[in-house]
A and B are shown apart, each in its own frame.
Chain A
Amino acid sequence: MDLKDKLVSSFMAFENTVDVDAAVHDVRSEALKSFEDKGFPSKRDEAWKYTSLNSVLKHDYSVFPKQENALEYSDVKKYFIHDIDSYKIVFIDGKYSSHLSQTTHDGIDVCLMSSALSKPKYQLIIENYFNKAATKDGLSSLNTAFSQEGAYVHIPKNKIVEKPIQIIHFSTGNESALMLQPRNLIVVDENSHVQIMERHQSLTDNPVLTNSVTEIFTNKRAIVDYYKLQNDKPTASLIDHTFIKQKRESHASVHTFSFGGQLTRNNLNFYQEGERIDSTLKGVTIIGEKQHVDHNTLVHHIEPNCESHQDYKGIFSDKSTGVFNGKVVVDKIAQKTNAFQANNNILLSDKASINTKPQLEIFADDVKCSHGCTIGQLDDSAMFYMRSRGIPEKEAKALLMFAFSNNVLDSVKIPEIKQRITKIIATKLGVDIGFDL
């Protein structure tokens, strides 16, 4: 039985295990139909031209594990940003771990999707927001059909949330192959501000496929900063879908750091539904071996006087492959739009490759839109310059790569996250550069 059939035929059993709210049940059933119709994307789909899922779909995944697994904090501490006080929503093999989590209902809701989908007190928010930003493509529909667990964050108006929220999914490898469908909903009301970090971490070499959907709503003048740290095992794959709907004068930023995993696909969609909105999409990708990272972004400028800033850097070695497909749509009424997009890449080996494709669809006539892609190698003259000062080749390369990524690293607002990312990069490059950038 192939994975699609297996998922479809598991649906009834899945519905029976979860506490079903009638409205959510309808959404799920409809989503299942959509998945049945569309199935998994293939390279024939334009948006998946450069990314084949064949190698990750071939495993016999367990699609909704029942077994509860436990982890000791000390064993997984290193995957947390542990040097700051934070809220934590932690899942092990798709199940909530209350032991590792720190949730709250004190003025804000930082808790579980499963509660939000079943308890009456969250009904209004679920009705207004759940599945209201996600698209109806096959993979998102699949996630919606099986949506049950994930993070639920609701920040009422006028709250500056001091502590960042960490959402972490661990997979233990207790199943020989595991498929996860995490579903997050983040609703940030007027004037509020929240910072969120998300991570998926496999702890063994058993294959894991995560098909994640996150919907984020930033209401009037809200600020959301979202950090995705992707540094998973070479047997773990992630298909991420993040949909952000912004209301007027809100600011939303998503930073995606992709350093590991077998196949990583980031679908990141921003919809600007008001004036004077600011959207930031940035990423650093550093991969090697046969890893594959695909960034597929969309910024839809629907209203006038908004800005978007995209800046993606990629460094590819060995036989790794990268894709950047950045689409910007400016509607006819979205005058005075400022939309910037940059994608710079360094190929460190002859066998590495990057496919980069900017797509601009501009229907307004008074806008500033720019895009630029570069693909190059490390600058030989810069290498010689550094080495002539006594900096060995490996360290000189690393320094140049840090320099290359610096624009993106610089806009990370939480110093501990920036430090952590710097450290991961240094470890990956096998250097100790001895200073904080």
Chain B
Amino acid sequence: MLKINDLHASVEDKAILRGINLEVKPGEVHAIMGPNGSGKSTLASVIAGKEEYEVDKGEILLEGEDIDELAAEERAHKGVFLSFQYPVEIPGVSVTNFMKTAINETRKAKGLDDMPAKDMLKLIREKSELLEIDRKFLSRSLNEGFSGGEKKRNEIFQMAMLEPKLAILDETDSGLDIDALRIVANGVNKLKSKDNAVIVITHYQRLLDYIVPDFVHVLYDGRIVKSGTKELAHELEEKGYDWIKEEVNA
């Protein structure tokens, strides 16, 4: 599904990723953990195609295709989805209209006609129920005045609507109370299949109790310095990151 080889990336000439290697196969859930400033969000943004980041070296292959030259929307059309740590408020565009535009533009890119209105409504109803989202919520301006939890739930709702092959959840657990966390995790779990993959970026082990990873990677100083199974996440929760730093620096 996703193969990253020796990826180096920088923003404004400041190197942030310094040689990432990662392989994610269909059906797998990978967790990426690490201390603040280690490059977790940068990795997510680089995969999704944020233009401010410069790829200096290495490659990102999605189903064997190098996606480095593709615009963010083209990556989205190929099935990459990023759940934002800080979803952007867009006043004046309703959640429903935003989703309609996103879905129909994706269909257009694939040479398909617009989704018929009644199918769209059905899909919206189905997916909003999955995320326990109220109808009224969908006619509100995108993310405007949403609580932290509502924003994150809305991100996963969008993921459910777009059915990506590769979903990257960037700190989706931050700002969530336990009920919202359960709803969001439940949504993600229901969307999981043998054909898609999920990368969960998180600080804390908490979310991984709900979305159970097959692999856990520790990112530090722009590199993956340790990989393991879900037990590694427990260890990090218990011991913090200092021992990893020491190991690396030694």
Name the A residues within 8 Å of B71 (CB-CB).
387, 392-393
CB distance A384 to B51 under 8 Å? yes
* Interface SS of chain A: helix
CB distance A390 to B102 under 8 Å? yes
CB distance B88 to A434 under 8 Å? no
Please give me the residue from chain A that is nearest to B161 by CB atom. Answer: A389
Q: Which chain B residues numbered 72 to 87 have a C-beta less than 8 Å away from chain A? A: 72-73, 75-77, 80-82, 84, 87
Q: How far is the CA of A380 from the CA of B87 in the complex (A)?
A: 13
A406 interface residue per 8 A CB criterion: yes
Produce 1/0 per residue, B149-160, CB < 8 A to A.
000000000100
A385-B105 contact given A390-B76, A390-B77, CB 8 Å threshold: no
B178 interface residue per 8 A CB criterion: no
CB distance B90 to A382 under 8 Å? yes
A386 interface residue per 8 A CB criterion: yes
Q: How far is the CA of A311 from the CA of B80 in the complex (A)?
A: 39
B50 interface residue per 8 A CB criterion: yes
Q: How far is the CA of A379 from the CA of B88 in the complex (A)?
A: 10
Q: How far is the CA of A399 from the CA of B91 in the complex (A)?
A: 10
CB distance B88 to A381 under 8 Å? yes
B128 interface residue per 8 A CB criterion: no
Partner of B72, one of A387, A402, A434, A435: A387
CB distance A404 to B92 under 8 Å? yes
CB distance A399 to B73 under 8 Å? no
Name the A residues within 8 Å of B82 (CB-CB).
388
Partner of A389, one of B52, B91, B92, B162: B162
Q: How far is the CA of A434 from the CA of B47 in the complex (A)?
A: 29
Please give me the residue from chain B that is nearest to A395 by CB atom. Answer: B105
A interface residues, tally (CB under 8 Å): 28
CB distance A400 to B90 under 8 Å? yes
Q: How far is the CA of A392 from the CA of B72 in the complex (A)?
A: 8
CB distance B102 to A399 under 8 Å? no
* Residue among A400, A402, A435 with max Cβ neighbours from chain B (10 Å): A435
Produce 1/0 per residue, B76-117, CB < 8 A to A.
110011101001101111000110111111100100001000
Please give me the residue from chain B that is nearest to A433 by CB atom. Answer: B101
CB distance B87 to A399 under 8 Å? no
Name the A residues within 8 Å of B105 (CB-CB).
390-392, 395
Partner of A391, one of B73, B80, B84, B92: B73
* Residue among B49, B52, B73, B162 with max Cβ neighbours from chain A (10 Å): B73
CB distance from A182 to the nearest CB of B (A): 34
CB distance from A161 to the nearest CB of B (A): 31
A388-B91 contact given A393-B71, A434-B101, A435-B97, CB 8 Å threshold: no
Q: How far is the CA of A390 from the CA of B93 in the complex (A)?
A: 16
CB distance from B170 to the nearest CB of A (A): 11
Binding site for B on A (CB under 8 A): 379-382, 384-393, 395-396, 399-400, 402-407, 433-435, 437
9 nearest CB pairs, A to B: A406-B92, A403-B92, A390-B76, A387-B72, A390-B106, A389-B102, A385-B88, A387-B73, A382-B88
5 contacts between A and B (CB under 8 A): A380-B52, A384-B72, A386-B102, A392-B105, A435-B101
